Chains A and B, each alone.
Chain A
Amino acid sequence: QVQLVESGGGVVQPGESLRLSCPASGFTFSTHSMHWVRQAPGKGLEWVAVISYDGTYKFYAESVKGRFTISRDNSKNTLYLEMSSLRDEDTAVYYCAGDQVEKTIRGDAFDFWGQGTVVIVSA
């Protein structure tokens, strides 16, 4: 079955950087768009970024544009999120999510989700 396992979360200070990873299994990773979605404590879901199945297209939420970079390594079946210049408001559970429809540029829906990794930005 589909499995997404996020890792790399932790406690960092404002201005620091962090890299999240999401190895995938149970489906053909290289033909599916992938997303990062976050949820601040006690808040709703916020989409962060999406990358097309081949890595050509990337879209970001305005709140992270210029600070976060989404990438993927299809040879390793792994999704990444490089986060820099972290702010207090970036504190959240970060989920990776995949789209069931194959070969889309920005995804069709968030069909499957990992369990999330916690990022805390605090001085």
Chain B
Amino acid sequence: QSVLTQPPSASGTPGQRVTISCSGSSSNIGFDYVSWYQQLPRAAPKLIIYRNYQRPSGVPDRFSGSKSGTSASLAISGLRSEDEADYYCAAWDDSLRGWVFGGGTRVTVL
């Protein structure tokens, strides 16, 4: 059972908008920044959102992040086939004194 809760799956057709939630508590999401990672099949994870909503250079603006209280979300707009991957949220947990990940959400492009 992960400290951060994500839905196991999400899907959409090409061009649609998909949103992934990440629910935590006051000691993690409510305490610090949230980051998001994309993991394509058989590849290492890649940072796509940091500090709640910031995008690293090279990440398309179709990816956006937000945070409110103890929850965060990742939105993918204009869904494309290459977005099919697993997505993870992460945050520092000050009670555990360690980093925590969500269980991951598999996005399928129908």
**Chain B positions 40 through 72: 1 when the CB is less than 8 Å from some CB of chain A, otherwise 0:** 000011110011000010000000000000000
Chief secondary structure at chain B's binding surface: strand
Which single residue of chain B is at the shortest CB-CB distance from A45?
A: B101
User: Are the CB atoms of B47 and A109 closer together than 8 Å?
Assistant: yes
The interface size bin for chain A is 20 to 34
Contact (Cβ within 8 A) B100 A47: yes
Q: Hey, what's the 0/1 contact readout for A32-74 against B, CB within 8 Å counting as 1?
A: 0001010000001111001000000001111000000000000
A positions within 8 Å CB-CB of B? 35, 37, 44-47, 50, 59-62, 95, 97, 100, 106-116
> Would B99 and A47 count as touching, CB distance under 8 A?
yes
B23 within 8 A of A: no
How far is B37's CA from A44's CA once the two chains are assembled, in angstroms?
A: 11
